[in-house]
Amino acid sequence: MSNAPRGHLPAPVPGLASALVWGAGQLINRQAGKAACFFVCFAALVGWEMGTGNYYAGMDFDARGNGGFFVKGLWGLFTLGSQAREVTLTGLTDGDNSIILLANGLIALLTLALLSIIWIWSIRDAARYRASLNAGGERESSLDYLKRLWEGAFAYIMLSPGMVLMVFMSVLPIMFGILIAFTNYNRDHLPPKNLVGWVGFDNFGAIFSVPAWTQTFLGVLVWTFVWAVVSTAAAYGFGFLQAVLLANQKVKFPRMWRSIFLLPWAVPAIVSALVFRSMFNGQFGPISQWLMDVGLTDERIYWFTDASNPNLARGIALLINLWISFPFFMALVGGVLTNIDDSYYEAARMDGASPLQQLRHITFPVVHRTVAPLLILSFVTNFNNFGLVYFLTEGGPDNADYRFAGSTDLLVTWLFKLTLNNQLYNIGAVMSLFIFLIVGTISVWNLNRSKAIREL
Amino acid sequence: MTAKTAERPAPTRPQRRRISGGRKDTIASVFIHLELLVVALIVIFPLLWVVGASLSPGDGLGAVSPFPADATFDHYIDLFTETNYGRWYLNSLYVATLNMIGSVALAALCGYVFSRVRFKGRKAGMLSILILQMFPAFVAAIAVYMLFLNFGLLDSLTGLALVSIAAALPYNIWLMKGYTDNLPASLDEAAAIDGASRLTIFRKIILPLMRPMLTFVAITQFTLPWMDFILPRLLLQSPDKQTVALGLFQMISDEYSNAYTTFAAGAVFLAVPITILYIILQRYLVTGAAAGAEKG
């Protein structure tokens, strides 16, 4: 109270000062240390722009030629470059590389967003502190403030390594990927040879207006859903059956059987998929050789390459996925079964319930309560089961009606082919957005039912 | 209705069934064992077949038998003398170790903070992590590829490990947070009264209690790079930077290479350690996965 300011300066004044020059408001409030901290951030921003740009007195300003990291970055983000590489008498000129401009612009935008938090903080801090002084509050030295800040910042300091990694390795790429969906970045527009431009929703339109794209998209989408639903249901059903059988008291050596059945889960999926791929190889694979030896077929069966019989490939792929995924559900259900109180069954037997009725009305409901959340997870995993399909069939057999997709291709494997083999980055990005929307909707729906959100 | 009518004969029923069910039980038991045997054969056969293939003499797929008469270990020797398998194995080991250490450390720390510390932006942080987790890792991978391609960052094993850590981090943080939520808060309150700092509480009290979840994350993150294909395929290029999964896929997908038995040896050599690890730690792995699903 002793050193309260002489005049009553209205609170917005220091706030406004800080808005113009960061830290100026704090200086008016006579908090030099704090002012210096904000000013350093401000100076860094301006210095970075000046240092990376090309600023001099009396210049003609042009964002492309003179802009620094931020100005040129934002310019690049909006225009994606204005000069393509050209062949002149003296050789190739330096054209704009649209994709690098886009990425740089995104980084500049993220950095600006981060800095603007500091900016808003400095404005609010200056105005609030002045308001509290005007109301007769105590003075606080900059050092005390920083100490207070430090103690409150434990969480942020501990989180920062993980967050920084995620921002640069997942958030930035995801934003970049989303933006690509609105450009024409593909094999016809490859920087640095050509410029890439914004095309708005054209790519989304193409998926639904070009018949070949629509047909492929819908075909692959339906198969992906069938694949995910059937895979999950089959693995759960068969895993449940095996677990119940193993829990039967008549079974000799249950541990031995259990260990054997767990093997497909323990063996790396890539190894299993590649082994099955060779067993079902059309030309040399042992399976069709045996079928011929036994006399079931006269000629070799091209399991995964026979374009006239896509459902054979699909069915075999589903069976192989069942082989890989049932043990996990078996182990899970087995764990639940051992925890069901025996008194339930005793009571049921007293009431004369048959074993089948006991299974239906006691075992299944109890098990299902534990397993249900995993079904969604399993559905999503299968929806994006790149490994199995790619290793097993590589999407084959070929489908003449599809664009760059085979009959067993899932959305993810199609996306992979579009991007890596065909350089259709823009269509691939649209595809990723669709996958995100589908997976996101299912996850949100699932979360809404679970308690995770409410416990946040 | 059915329950009521069944009430009266109930006391005698179990006994009667046991006496008369003797033969029926035997038949049921035979059928159950028959089913188990058939499933066991289907489960074991492909595995036996690939082991047999790795021991078969000759090179091609056509000559492979599950029980080779003149078994040979030549292909395992070829693996390390003729191919780059040793290099791939070390590369995978490097990425796997880095991925495991980084994932466990970051996820445990972030999970603890989100679970126990109340701070501004906590809810927003958890929600954004949740949304981030819904993007298939694969989608980010393709964008990472485009970025790395344009900035010339491709072909680095450390970069691959960092991207893998970041891709799995949102899910792992949720796992750790969910697990820590269930630990009694009275423990850290008592320690806080004794004057322990938050970091000490984390290290001395919470971390030891997190062990089952730490094991789960460690195993899954250690084994993932051995099987992962998309990320390394996108981010690695030069022959001496390949991982085992890439190398094996190349061996088998190359139409003209006639080295099936060597591939089989490589597959067995990759699968055996991971299989043993999974079987030993199965309890942790199954309960960990179940806990993850409940927490979204």
What is the arithmetic mean of pLDDT over A14-43?
89
Tokens 């906590």 belong to residue: B122
- Cβ within 8 Å, pair A166-B170: yes
Interface of B with A in 117-146 (CB under 8 A): 117, 119, 122-123, 125-127, 129-136, 138-146
Check: CB of residue B276 under 8 Å from CB of residue B268.
no
pLDDT of the residue at B21: 55
Last residue of a domain, one of B37, B72, B107: B72
Same domain, A397 and A416: yes
Same domain, B39 and B67: yes
Same domain, A122 and A59: yes
Q: How many residues does this entry show for chain A? A: 456
Residue B296 contacts A where some CB pair is shorter than 8 Å: yes
How far is residue A323's CA from residue B40's CA, in Å, rounded to a whole number?
11
Flag the least confident range among A231-235, A237-241, B59-63, B195-199.
B59-63
Same domain, B36 and B110: no
Check: CB of residue A186 under 8 Å from CB of residue A95.
no
Nearest-CA distance A139 → chain B (Å): 24
Interface of B with A in 4-43 (CB under 8 A): 6-7, 9-11, 13-14, 25, 28-29, 32-33, 35-36, 39-40, 42-43
Question: Is A235 domain-assigned?
Answer: yes
Question: Is A5 domain-assigned?
Answer: no
Question: Is A454 domain-assigned?
Answer: no
Q: Determine the Cα angle at A299 with ends A297 and A300, to 5°.
A: 100
Flag the least confident range among A10-14, A258-262, A344-348, B59-63.
B59-63
Over the range A405-432, which residues count as b (16 or more CB within 10 Å of their CB) and which as e?
Answer: bbbbbbbbbbbbbbbbeeebbbbbbbbb
Domain that holds residue B103: 84-294
Report the residue from A154, A284, A432 with minimal CB separation from B117.
A154
Same domain, B48 and B138: no
- Cβ within 8 Å, pair A328-B289: yes
Question: Is A153 domain-assigned?
Answer: yes
What is the arithmetic mean of pLDDT over B120-142?
81
Interface of A with B in 384-423 (CB under 8 A): 384, 386-387, 390-391, 394, 412, 415-416, 419-420
Tokens 């397993």 belong to residue: A371
Domain that holds residue A238: 204-449
Nearest-CA distance A71 → chain B (Å): 20
CB neighbours of B199 closer than 8 A, spacing ≥ 6?
none
Helix axis angle, A32-52 relative to A142-152, nearest 10°?
70
Same domain, A215 and A190: no
pLDDT over 80 at B138, yes or no: no
Question: Is B7 domain-assigned?
Answer: no
Question: To the nearest whole number, what is the mean pLDDT of chain B?
Answer: 84
pLDDT of the residue at A232: 95
Question: Is B2 domain-assigned?
Answer: no
Same domain, B55 and B90: no
Q: pLDDT tens, A367-393?
A: 888 788 788 888 988 998 888 999 888
What is the arithmetic mean of pLDDT over B228-234?
87
Q: Which of these, A172, A85, A166, lies nearest to B148 by C-alpha position?
A: A172
Question: Is A69 domain-assigned?
Answer: yes
- Stronger pLDDT, A396 or B171, i.e. the higher one: B171
pLDDT of the residue at A278: 87
Which CATH number does the domain housing residue B274 bear? 1.10.3720.10
pLDDT exceeding 70 applies to what percent of chain B? 89
How far is residue A232's CA from residue A324's CA, in Å, rounded to a whole number?
11
Same domain, A283 and A351: yes
φ and ψ at residue A106, rounded to 5 degrees: -65, -45
Question: Is B77 domain-assigned?
Answer: no
Count of domains observed in chain A: 2
pLDDT exceeding 70 applies to what percent of chain A? 97
Residue B113 contacts A where some CB pair is shorter than 8 Å: yes
Other C-beta atoms closer than 10 Å to the C-beta of A117 total 9
- Cβ within 8 Å, pair B13-A165: no
Flag the least confident range among A4-8, A324-328, A432-436, B34-38.
A4-8
Question: Is A193 domain-assigned?
Answer: yes
pLDDT of the residue at A330: 93
Question: Is B105 domain-assigned?
Answer: yes
Same domain, B140 and B34: no
Question: Is B129 domain-assigned?
Answer: yes
pLDDT of the residue at A451: 58
Other C-beta atoms closer than 10 Å to the C-beta of A206 total 16
Q: Which of these, A318, A331, A319, lies nearest to A240 by C-alpha position?
A: A331
Same domain, B150 and B52: no
pLDDT of the residue at A229: 95
Question: Is A79 domain-assigned?
Answer: yes
Flag the least confident range among A442-456, B139-153, B230-244.
A442-456
| pLDDT confidence bin for A157, thresholds 50/70/90 | confident
Same domain, B137 and B53: no
| pLDDT confidence bin for A288, thresholds 50/70/90 | confident
Tokens 């078994």 belong to residue: B71
Same domain, A170 and A214: no
Nearest-CA distance A448 → chain B (Å): 10
- Cβ within 8 Å, pair A259-B10: no
Same domain, B148 and B279: yes
pLDDT over 50 at A258, yes or no: yes
What is the arithmetic mean of pLDDT over B47-54?
91
Other C-beta atoms closer than 10 Å to the C-beta of B176 total 28
Give the predicted TM-score (pTM) of the model: 0.83
Last residue of a domain, one of A151, A183, A200: A200
Residues of B with Cβ-Cβ distance to A277 under 8 angstroms: 252
Same domain, B23 and B101: no
Q: pLDDT tens, B244-267?
A: 999 988 888 776 567 888 889 999
How far is residue B60's CA from residue B63's CA, in Å, rounded to a whole number?
6
Last residue of a domain, one of A148, A166, A200: A200
pLDDT over 60 at B221, yes or no: yes
Same domain, B61 and B93: no
Using DSSP, how many helices (H) and how many strands (E) does chain B show? 16, 0
Same domain, A224 and A313: yes
DSSP bridge pairs for A198: A183
- Of all residues in chain B, the one with the smallest CA distance to A161 is B106
Report residue B220 as tokens.
Answer: 């899954």
Question: Is A164 domain-assigned?
Answer: yes
Count of domains observed in chain B: 2
Upstream peptide bond of A397 is cis (omega within 30 degrees of 0): yes
Same domain, A215 and A196: no
What is the arithmetic mean of pLDDT over A382-407?
87
| pLDDT confidence bin for B14, thresholds 50/70/90 | very low
Tokens 């004044």 belong to residue: A13
pLDDT over 80 at A82, yes or no: yes
Same domain, B236 and B139: yes
Question: Is B29 domain-assigned?
Answer: yes
Question: Is B13 domain-assigned?
Answer: no
CA distances from A385 to A335, A391, A406, B108, B220 (A): 26, 11, 15, 28, 17
Same domain, B66 and B193: no
pLDDT over 60 at B219, yes or no: yes
Q: How many residues does this entry show for chain B? A: 296
How far is residue A372's CA from residue A365's CA, in Å, rounded to a whole number?
10
Nearest-CA distance B272 → chain A (Å): 8
What is the arithmetic mean of pLDDT over A341-353?
88
pLDDT over 90 at A325, yes or no: yes
Same domain, A309 and A222: yes
Same domain, A330 and A348: yes
Same domain, A145 and A213: no
Same domain, A35 and A89: yes
Question: Is B269 domain-assigned?
Answer: yes
Other C-beta atoms closer than 10 Å to the C-beta of A197 total 14
pLDDT of the residue at A7: 58
- Of all residues in chain B, the one with the smallest CA distance to A439 is B134
Same domain, A388 and A420: yes
Flag the least confident range among A216-225, A427-436, B6-15, B83-92.
B6-15
- Alpha-carbon torsion angle A444, B124, A171, B112, nearest 10: -100
ipTM, two decimals: 0.83
Other C-beta atoms closer than 10 Å to the C-beta of A17 total 21
Residue B273 contacts A where some CB pair is shorter than 8 Å: no
Which CATH number does the domain housing residue A389 bear? 1.10.3720.10
Question: To the nearest whole number, what is the mean pLDDT of chain A?
Answer: 86
Last residue of a domain, one of A200, A219, A249: A200
pLDDT of the residue at B97: 96
DSSP string covering A181-249: TTB--STTS-TTTS---B-TTHHHHHHHHSHHHHHHHHHHHHHHHHHHHHHHHHHHHHHHHHHHHHHST
